[in-house]
Each structure stands twice: as structure tokens, then as C-alpha cells.
Chain A
Amino acid sequence: MFVCHCGSNIAGYLDVAALGEYAQTLPHVTFVQRNLYSCSESGINEIKKGIQEHGLNRVVVASCTPRTHEPLFRTSCAEAGLNPYLFEMVNIRDQCSWVHMGEQEDATTKAKDLIRMGVAKAALLEPQEPIISQVETRALVMGGGITGITSALALAHRGYEVVLVEKEESLGGMLNRLYRLGPTMTDASAFIHEKIRAVTEHPRITTFTRAKVKHAEGFIGKYKVDLETESGLKKIDIGVILVATGGRNYTPEGLFGYDGVRVITQLDMERLLKEGLDPSIRSVVIIQCVGSRNEERPYCSRVCCQTAVKNAILVKDQTPDANVFVLFRDMQMYGVENEEMFRASKAKGIRYVHYDPARPPEVEADRVKVYHDLLGHHMDLPADLVVLSTPLIAHEDAQVTAQLMKIPIDESGFFLEGHVKLKPLDFATNGVFLCGSARFPANIREAVAQGLGAASRASIPLSKGSVVVEPIISVLTNEDACRGCGLCVALCPYGALEVRETEKGRKVHVIDVACKGCGVCASTCYQHALSINSFTDQQIEAQIEAFLE
């Protein structure tokens, strides 16, 4: 038992000497020492010396917080020959001395409680060994658009085998249908063709078009994937999976007189611009937020404003004296490049009209009527062509992919990443990664960045060749008790449980590499068949009993 002063951080507020004396009186405790800093080099040496000289078989440190220091103390135990999972940490700084600074007596009593509980648990700790599993160094990239292609090329450059699966007949995705890419006005076809050529020529990339994933099972490092291809069913061993399945353009059936001829979408417009705009078109009206930011589809699709501005500029480039109006709610020209393009478009004479969604524009035979929300009057805009900016939406088969890969999707139908801020390219499930418009609408810069980023994330297990998992995971400790009800399987957020047929009937099986030890399964199992290493019922009960002593 080591009690840390943490300089004055603990000793300044708790009676540390009393804590040391108290620990001495607890059952199982044979050795107590106080350190000025248990984490300092001398403190660590004291712990190691204690283990070796006194033959300690459990170590408890009462100090700062496991958040920062548990790994250090565990490693130190291991270096002294003690299994690192026979270590227990008691938090008497962050959760005691720091929160009860003016109450030395009560705080010291609380610290005694915490120490007693820690010791009670430590006595029941079992040694654990880390779990190591080999990783197949082959990646599956689902989706052959610019995002998937970028990921595939990056991984192949790094030396890994890549299987690229595209459901359409050719690679390229959305870029096949675009004319120019903003804000640099790069030729989309030339760009994507160059990329497709690189993929096709790369010896480490195997491409399947008109193919889809039929079945997938396994876990990080060891997936068995069945591909349905033109040349029949292919069974492939895969280490990691990248979901780059993209999105699709919403078709505004029944909105603003959409007919695909005079009232078209931005995607139709890309085609017209590619073919060269009919010079008789003298006036173009573009309407933003068609089918988005409404009750049915509340999200802003991010890329439509920049697409509208880009295409408005291209109209002006092809027909300089055309009148181009953009009817908008908020111009989402975020960042440096977009705002620059927005400014440039105004300089070219493109006009922006603010409308209120409560008073939407009306599309008539040769004109669009709109209430200019800022000028406060109606406008009658001649319109040879009306272009509707519709959102990118999730693919119809996203749900199927979600079920196959055991990954979640959000309210809008896009895949839901591990953490919206900190893990944008990971899923909660290890070994599966996300990028591009399958996650959320992305422009070319963002799609390429995410493709590279997801490749980087996926390359971590590939480059290590194996995954090492902390053994604090769920274990089926009482197989006879398990009835194979599957409640835990349904609740597991990481896809780490499955029910298998065994000689004894249906039993749950823990995929140890996938388990993160959250404890949801063990705490919901009616039969107490599952248990979490280092957090067993007995250990927790011992802590509670010690507290109530």
C-alpha cells in the first residue's frame, strides 16, 4: 500500500500520516509506505523495491487519478515481476483532496473509506494477460468514388493489399457526372480518369465493379467477406474495412415544377454545362435549399451553396450577358476559398436574393416570382432555366450496409461515426472506418482529405500486424447459466458478442478483440453468466461491503 502526498496537493488537505497508519490496520495489508510523489523516479523505485523485498502480491496506490497515472504504476509493477493487473489505484486527489479543500477531517475520513474499498477489491484481483490477435494486411474499400479511390491508393502506396468494391459498372462515382470542381474549376473528368487509371494500374489494388458485399463476419484483423461479383461469389479475408459509399443527389419530384428540362437539379446542370449551355438561355434562376432544411430533412447539405455559386459563375463564363439570380436562405460559403468564390461571383454580376422559407419562390412558365425578404417587395424574375439546389442524401442501401457491418446510422440516414468531434473517421467498432459523403456531404477537398485520413486510421492495425487488447473485457464465466437469450448481443455497442450453437445449446460468445469492457452485457445479464475482468461482481461487492463496514 503506497500513499502519495502529491507534494501538497494531497498532503496539504488530508492527514496523510493518519491515512498511512490506518492502512496498516486493514486486512491483507503487510506493507505501507508514504511517498512525496509516488510517480517520481524515486517513488517508482520504492514501489518496485517493496514488491521485490517484501514479496508483495497485490499493490494499491492511493494518489492522483488513474486517468493519468494508472498505466505508469501498472508498468512499474510489471517491471518488478508482478502481473500488472494485480494493481489497484485509489483516487484520493481528484475525487477527494481537491474537492474537499477546507474539510481536512471529513476528507481524511473519506480517503480512509476509499482506501479500505480499494484494498478489499485488490485482495480479489486476478492476474490477466493481454490479448493479441493477428491482423490480415488486406483492406476492403467499399465505394469507388473519389473518396474510396483516394483511400485505396493511399493504402496501396503504403504497401497493403486493397480490395476495392464498386456497385456501379465503373469507378469514379459522383465525379463522373460533374463538369468542373470548385473553386479551382478543375476538369472533373480529367481528374477522376487519372485517378481511375492509377487504381487500375496499381498492382496491389484489386477492383470489382458491379459488385457488392453480400456477407461479412468477424472482427478487426480477421473479417471473412463474401463478395457478389460478375464472375461469381468471392470469399476474401480482410483485416480492415473502409466505408466510402458516398451519397446521392435528391430528386425533387413535385417541387417547384421540377421536370428535368426547364426546371432541373444542379446535377442536371453539370451535364448541360459540360455539353455547353444552349446560348438561347439568357436568364437562369437558382433556388437553394430545395428539399433540405425543412421538417422532413432538417440538415443543411453543406455543399449545395458552393455548387450553386460555382455553376452560376460557369453560366456567366459561357454566356456572359445572361442574368443569373440565386435565391437563398443563408449562403453557406464557409472558409477562405468558398467566400472568395462567393465574392468573385458577385463581381461577375450574379445577384443574390434572400427568401423566407415561409414565403417560398413560385416557379411559373417563363418566370420565377419571389418575395425579396430584405428589400421587402416582390420580384418577377424571367427564367429560361430554373436550377434547384437539392441536398445530397444517403443511399437507399445504406441500411443494408449498416446491418452487414454492424455500424450505426444517424437520423438523416448517414453513417454515424465514433465521435462527431474527435473520431470523425472511426466507428465505435474497431476495424471499420468511414469517409466522404457516406458520413456527411463533402466537397472535393473534404472528400480527398477524409479518404487520406481514413486510410491513415486504417493503416494503424495493418502496420502493426496485430492488435493488442487490454484484458479488461467481458468473459462468459458461467457457461451453464447462459440461456443464449441474446439480450447482451442486442445491447453491445461494439458488436463484440454473438450467440453460437454449442454442444450445450445456444451460448453467447465474446469476441475478445472487439470487446471494450464497458460492462453493459454483464450488468444486464439476468443469469449473471457474464463478468468483466477486474470488475467482477465479487470484487465490486467486496468494495461495497468494505464501504458499509
Chain B
Amino acid sequence: MLDVGRHPNIELMTYSQIEELNGQVGDFKVKVRSKARYVNEDLCTACGTCSNYCPVPIEDAYDEGLRTTKAMHIYYQQAIPATYYVDEKACLFLTRRECKQCERVCQAKAIDFNQKDRIVELDVGAIILAVGYDVFDPAQITEYRYQEIPNVVTAMEFERLLSASGPTGGKLYRPSDLAAQAKTKAREEETQGFTVAKRLAFVQCVGSRDFRFYPFCSGYCCMHSIKEAIVAHEHEPETTSTIFGMDIRAVGKGFEEYKIRGGNRSNITYVRGRIAEITEGPNNNPVVTYEDTKERMIKKEDFDLVILASACVPTKGIVELAEILGIQLDPYNFVKTDPLSPVDTTRPGVFVCGCAESPMDIPESVVQASSAAERAAEITLQPLLEKGKAVA
């Protein structure tokens, strides 16, 4: 990311979106709306003082809403560009013409409430879509009672709970305790009476391989759950994890070996079966009802924490974007490609890579990014080549 931020050949336009596309391969005209951040990118040094003084707390999207940030914020500390921005809907000045506390404390004089959206016209030869994906909202699966039972979390929330930079500093405190703490307005450091989650259940195929929602396989979640279970065990060696799945799809390089190692060294048990229901038992423990398909028995088991491996689903706004770009989508709204030309969309000169094309893991995404760069270079560098030829 850092390299992208300072590469002389890359002009980075964040907080921006495409509004119109004209022209054709090799000669596109793109209209981009660059949204107002209300902070001058050239002057902001990302010191964070403005955010400290901002009086409006909002949900911290990066931390999956597990803690709050401010209306004047940065997505996360290492974000590129290192420029703060204002949540327009929450900012007191933008909504009620009050406050401007940030402007007074900013020593770099970077706050600029007069900033307007900019419309930028770009001439480009090729376009690469790397717009990513969304995570399925498991609240749609009512029998899993996500959001009803505090100790049922998504894999992304769990990732933040495990992270040293996350809301619990990497301690696997349970959301039921954190919620109680918030209610009594206890200080954030007070963790007395907290229980650390040590018996974990991972539920696979949440929203995927499910005819009610998305029939496809979301690809990376089996490995993600195994990794999370291994990391949790590294944090706390008494941790035991049970991964409930239909097939454990460990198909990448070294993945099967990783899966086996997780079983042998990190107390992971793999159970073949799909969770039928999650209820809440004593001590805020989620209780999981499932069929163990190998033993052909219906079982019930309680855990400290249940983690839902939510599916990778097409990103919000992709339909509108596809319309603007004039490209086709597949029946699920992933960008349509052909296996024999894996990064070409249906419109010449427009390429796609990563999970916008279909669910995939990091190495596959990196490979596709290079592939898309190759296809784009074949177009954008063609004029140079022709010129070279003419001279020769």
C-alpha cells in the first residue's frame, strides 16, 4: 500500500467513484467524482489531533463496530493516503453548522469545510476493476441468532478481537462481557470478571452453499477459520476449536498440511455437519445444535464463542457500476469472465481481478492482479510499441 502511495506512476484517488464512461478500448474517457474529505490532503499530517477533539462518536467500521471512532477520523492508522476525513452524516458542522472544533486544533491548518466534491475527467487506455466484495450479513439466517446472542460473532469481528490493534488489544474477551462493561460505563481498561473465550465453534458456509442465499462456495472461508483457530490457540494454549463444515476445502499450496497441523497441534476438531440452530444457554454460552453426519447423530454442545464464517458476496453497488461500465455480470452479480481469458470482462479494455470476479484467496488475487495489469499493459503500451516500430 505504501508503495502504491508513493509510486511516481500512480495517481491515487481514494474516496472517489466512477460516474460515467465513454469511448472505447485504448481511448476511454472516465468521469470520476472525488468526494470532499473536508481535509486538505497536502497539508494533513495524520497526527490525529482533530479526531481527539472531535465530539461526535460514530461506529468504527474498521473494527466492525466493536468500538467507536469519531466523525473526523481515518479508516485505520496505517491507511493510505494518511489523510483524515469527515463523516458528513455525523459531523456537527456539516449537519447543524456547529462546532468546528477540529479546525481550531489543527496545527497544520488542514481542515477545510469549504471543500466540494471534484469531478475529474480522465483519459485512459484500459480499466481494471478491483472493487472487491462484501461479507454476507448472517442476521438473515434467523436460526443462527446473530445479533441476538452476543457471543455469536462473524469471522471478521473475531479477526478484530484477535488483533493486537483491535478493541480488546488481542485478548479474546467475550462480547457479552464487553457489552456489560459498556452498560456500566466502566473504564475501558477494567476487565475484572471478564472471561476469555477458550472453547470456540466455527460455523462454515454461512450464506454460501445455501440455496436460500448463495449456492456457490465462498472459497477462502475454510482456511480462514483454520487460521483463526490456530491464532487463537497461539494466544491461549488451552483454546480448543471445533470447525463445523460440509467439506473442508483446503485446496491451496500447503493448505491441507496446514489443516492437519491445526488438528495435531492447535486443538482443532473438524466435524462434518451443518449447524441447524444456535441458542443461548447459561453464562451467555451459545449452544449449537447440529448433525454429526459421520456418527449420524443429532448433538448439542455449548461453547464460549461461536464464529460464523460469512460468505464472500458481490459488493454493493456492483450492478450500478457494471451498468456505467457496460460490462456483464454473472447470475450472482460477480463480474462475468471466461475461464480461458480469466481477467477479461465482456467489454474490451475493461479487466477485472480479485473477488469482484469470484471468491478467491490472497495468492489467487495477487496472481489475477498481475494478469489484469498484463492485459491492460498490452493495450496501453501498444501505441509506444507502434511508435518504436515506425522509427525502426
Residues of chain A at the chain B interface (Cβ within 8 Å): 6-9, 36-37, 39-41, 67-68, 71-72, 154, 157-159, 181-184, 186, 191, 293, 298-300, 302, 330-340, 343, 354, 356, 373-376, 410, 414, 420-425, 439-440, 443-446, 448-450, 452-457, 459, 463
Contact = CB atoms under 8 A, between A and B. Distances in A.
Most buried by B among A293, A335, A340, A376: A335
Contact of B2 (A8, A67, A340): A67
Given A299-B256, A300-B255, A332-B249, A456 B371 contact: yes
21 contacts: A7-B47, A37-B45, A67-B2, A158-B378, A186-B340, A298-B260, A300-B250, A300-B255, A330-B249, A330-B250, A331-B247, A334-B251, A335-B217, A335-B219, A336-B330, A421-B362, A424-B367, A446-B367, A453-B367, A453-B370, A455-B374
Given A158-B377, A336-B334, A448-B342, A439 B216 contact: no
A374 B249 contact: no
Contact of B216 (A154, A158, A298, A339): A339
Most buried by B among A72, A420, A424: A424
Interface string B351-372: 0000000111011101111110
B10 interface: no
A158 B48 contact: no
Contacts of A68: 2
A193 to B, nearest CB: 13
A173 B179 CA distance: 60
B107 A7 contact: yes
Contact of A339 (B209, B334, B367): B209
A337 B388 contact: no
A374 B247 CA distance: 13
A208 to B, nearest CB: 24
Contacts of A414: 253
B274 interface: no
Contacts of A332: 247, 249, 251
Contacts of B108: 7, 36-37, 40
Which 7 residue pairs across A and B have the least CB separation, nearest first? A7-B47, A453-B370, A456-B374, A330-B247, A452-B371, A445-B339, A300-B256
Interface string B253-282: 111110010000000000010000000000
Contacts of A410: 253-254
A335 B375 contact: no
A424 B385 contact: no
B343 A440 contact: no
A127 to B, nearest CB: 23
Contacts of A446: 342, 364, 367
A71 B254 contact: no
B51 to A, nearest CB: 11
Contacts of B253: 299, 410, 414, 420, 439-440
Contacts of B320: none
A184 B370 contact: no
B388 A159 contact: yes
Contacts of B43: 40
B215 A343 contact: yes
Given A299-B257, A300-B256, A421-B362, A449 B377 contact: no
Contacts of B341: 448
Contacts of B212: none
Nearest to A155: B374
Contacts of B48: 7-9
B358 A420 contact: no
A348 B187 CA distance: 61
A6 B296 contact: no
Interface in B295-344: 296, 330, 332, 334, 338-343
Nearest to A75: B6
A463 B381 contact: yes
A452 B370 contact: yes
Nearest to B368: A449
Nearest to B293: A374
Contact of A425 (B47, B256, B367): B367
Contact of A71 (B6, B294, B363, B373): B6
B273 to A, nearest CB: 10
Most buried by B among A72, A337, A338, A456: A456
B366 A420 contact: no
B373 to A, nearest CB: 5
Nearest to B254: A420
A302 B272 CA distance: 20
Nearest to B77: A98
A336 B370 contact: no
A302 B252 contact: yes
A339 B217 contact: yes
B45 A7 contact: yes
A335 B385 contact: no
Contact of A184 (B248, B254, B296, B339): B339
A4 to B, nearest CB: 10
A445 to B, nearest CB: 4
A450 B296 CA distance: 42
B22 interface: no
Nearest to A10: B47
Contact of B363 (A9, A343, A421, A454): A421
Contact of B366 (A331, A373, A421): A421
B142 interface: no
Contacts of B332: 336
B249 A453 contact: no
B371 A158 contact: no
Contacts of A184: 338-340
A109 B108 CA distance: 28
